[in-house]
Amino acid sequence: MDVLLYEPEIPPNTGNIMRLCANAGAHLHLIEPLGFSLDNRQLRRAGLDYREWVEVVTYPSLTACLAQLNPPRLFALTTRGQRYYTDCHYQLNDALLFGPETRGLPCTVLDQLPANQRLRIPMCPGNRSLNLSNAVAVVLFEAWRQQGFNGV
């Protein structure tokens, strides 16, 4: 499974996601521009010593990332999605795309995907969003669960 962070802004979130990917056997892909340096102290603190256990690749653009990965299916997580993330049957080489913490994925990215590949996590009415690392954890673990926790 591939986790793609589009223009992440907050170092501790990315550090937590590094740790999460290491523990779930996922690959982490960061799409620039990043809101921090990869040697940021907060990033290292949140990721602890898991940086060496997870493959992290950066790309200058989403186009470059997708050209390199060529995932069979790309799912974008967005509060504007109509389909719940739990209604999807994930496959081993699927890619999960998450937007920046303060603004989410832009319409220019979302509009390139079919509606059934724009997923959302349910929330109580009136709430805006989950923390990015929490959102990645929720969706990644569901995808991994559907794969029978492959690799454990």
Q: At 83, phi and psi to the nearest 5?
A: -105, 135
Residues 54 and 18 sit within 8 Å (Cβ to Cβ): yes
Tokens standing for 150?
A: 């492959």
- Is 133 annotated as belonging to a binding site? no
The full DSSP string for the chain is: -EEEEES---HHHHHHHHHHHHHHT-EEEEESSPSS-TT-HHHHHHHTTGGGGS-EEEESSHHHHHHHH--S-EEEE-TT-SEEGGG----TT-EEEE--TTT-S-HHHHTTS-GGGEEE----TT-----HHHHHHHHHHHHHHHTTSTT-
- Is 129 annotated as belonging to a binding site? yes
Return binding residues.
77, 99, 121, 129
Residues placed in the known binding site for S-adenosyl-L-methionine: 77, 99, 121, 129
